[in-house]
Amino acid sequence: MTPAQRRLLELCSSPRTFSELKRLTKLSDSGLSKALKEMRELGYLQKTQEGYLTTPEGMEALGHRKIRAHGVIVVYSGISEEQARRVCEILRGSPKFWLSARSEDLGDYDVRVGLVLTFPELLLDEVRGSSKERGVE
Amino acid sequence: MELSITSSFKVGERASFVEASMSKEGSLISTLRALNLDLGNLRVGVSASTDPEGRLRRFILTVIQPQDQENVVASYILDLTSRKLTIAEGRARRLEVKEEDRAKVISQLPDLLSSMRQGPLMHFRSRVINLDTGAEEAT
């Protein structure tokens, strides 16, 4: 899979319209159409009412894990198989549906703060700049 | 997101410790603890963040080696939530960090948090490795 194809699948982990994808990938109309067609032919993307969506096969191709239980397919990463199975159990018997869920991305702050705490130079210029602005040395 | 420094002190001559807590809408999200060691020709920083139940979420090891006018920096970010290891390596302008500078950065960190959206290592070369497959991921 090329980096561009991978990016497309990652973007479509929640439904994306053609215009959204065009803006995010900066591909031309024809380039994006071609890439979407290829991904659909491989079974990695599907077109839903809400937009293009990466299929469980596509998510699996990205390296995520997949389980099938009780007629539900769950593609996951960052949770245990037991938790994924519980999701299947909860959703068993539901009519045709799709669901996209992810944790709120709060962890990125952990990384940024952690880096600054171990490497304060990353913000030193800003701190010195703000001190000068306030006339503090 | 609110960040508050809950503890900051020196551990002997060449080491310092900081503890910070991050909360959102009054609820604790994570606690960060960082230890910095100055080994003379090398600086080493370790930072760990834990969730409210005390489970380790992320661990960062940063090694900084001064070289001429630059610092050679390598950060290893072990993310147990997304099960990825990010290795960021690069060179940064060498700045003299006095103890009061460190204290300023720490005290102003809560206000500077919002200006850090771009990610402080964005100009560094980085590799992301999936912990489950061992494969390098596209960044």
User: ipTM of the assembly?
Assistant: 0.81
Alpha carbon of A34: minimum distance to chain B alpha carbons (Å): 21
Q: Does A102 touch chain B (CB under 8 A)?
A: no
Q: Which residues of B touch A133 (CB under 8 A)?
A: none
Q: Is the pLDDT of residue B58 over 60?
A: yes
User: Within its chain, how far is the Cα of B72 from the centroid?
Assistant: 15
Alpha carbon of B90: minimum distance to chain A alpha carbons (Å): 12
Which range of residues forms the domain containing residue A83? 64-102
Helical segments of chain A, H only: 3-11, 18-25, 29-41, 56-61, 81-91, 107-118, 121-133
pLDDT of residue A136: 34
A13 and A54 co-located in one domain: yes
The answer to whether the CB atoms of B105 and A114 lie below 8 A apart is: no
Alpha carbon of A57: minimum distance to chain B alpha carbons (Å): 17
A7 and A56 co-located in one domain: yes
pLDDT of residue B117: 47
A98 and A110 co-located in one domain: no
pLDDT of residue A35: 92
Q: Domain count of chain A?
A: 3
A11 and A53 co-located in one domain: yes
**What average pLDDT does the segment B86-97 reach?**
81
**What average pLDDT does the segment A79-102 reach?**
88
DSSP B27-95: EEEEEEEEEEEE-SS-EEEEEEEE-TT--EEEEEEEEEEEETTEEEEEEEEEETTTTEEEEEEEEEE--
Q: What does the mean pLDDT of chain A come to?
A: 81
Q: Is the pLDDT of residue B137 over 80?
A: no
A82 and A130 co-located in one domain: no
**What average pLDDT does the segment B75-95 reach?**
86
pLDDT of residue B121: 57
A16 and A45 co-located in one domain: yes
Model pLDDT for residues B8-52, shown as the tens digit of each residue: 888 988 899 999 998 877 888 889 999 999 998 899 999 999 988
Q: Is the pLDDT of residue B70 over 80?
A: yes
A44 and A90 co-located in one domain: no
pLDDT of residue B81: 82
pLDDT of residue A131: 47
Higher-pLDDT residue of B124, B79: B79
> What chain B residue is nearest to A110 in terms of C-alpha separation?
B49
CATH number of the domain where residue A21 is located: 1.10.10.10
Using CA atoms, how far apart are residues A30 and A99, in angstroms rounded to an integer? 30
**What average pLDDT does the segment B65-76 reach?**
86
Place of tokens 């959102």: B24
Chain A, window 4-63: residues with a beta carbon less than 8 angstroms from a chain B beta carbon: 6-7, 63
Q: Is the pLDDT of residue A30 over 60?
A: yes
pLDDT of residue B37: 93
**Residues of chain A above pLDDT 90, percent:** 27
Model pLDDT for residues A57-72, shown as the tens digit of each residue: 888 888 888 899 999 9
pLDDT of residue A133: 40
A98 and A120 co-located in one domain: no
Q: Is the dihedral of CA B21, B79, A5, B88 positive or negative?
A: positive
Q: Does A86 touch chain B (CB under 8 A)?
A: no
> In Å, how far are A9, A85, A126, B110 from A54, measured between CA atoms?
6, 21, 41, 38
The answer to whether the CB atoms of A109 and B137 lie below 8 A apart is: no
Instruction: Answer yes or no: pTM beyond 0.80.
Output: no
Q: Is the pLDDT of residue B115 over 90?
A: no
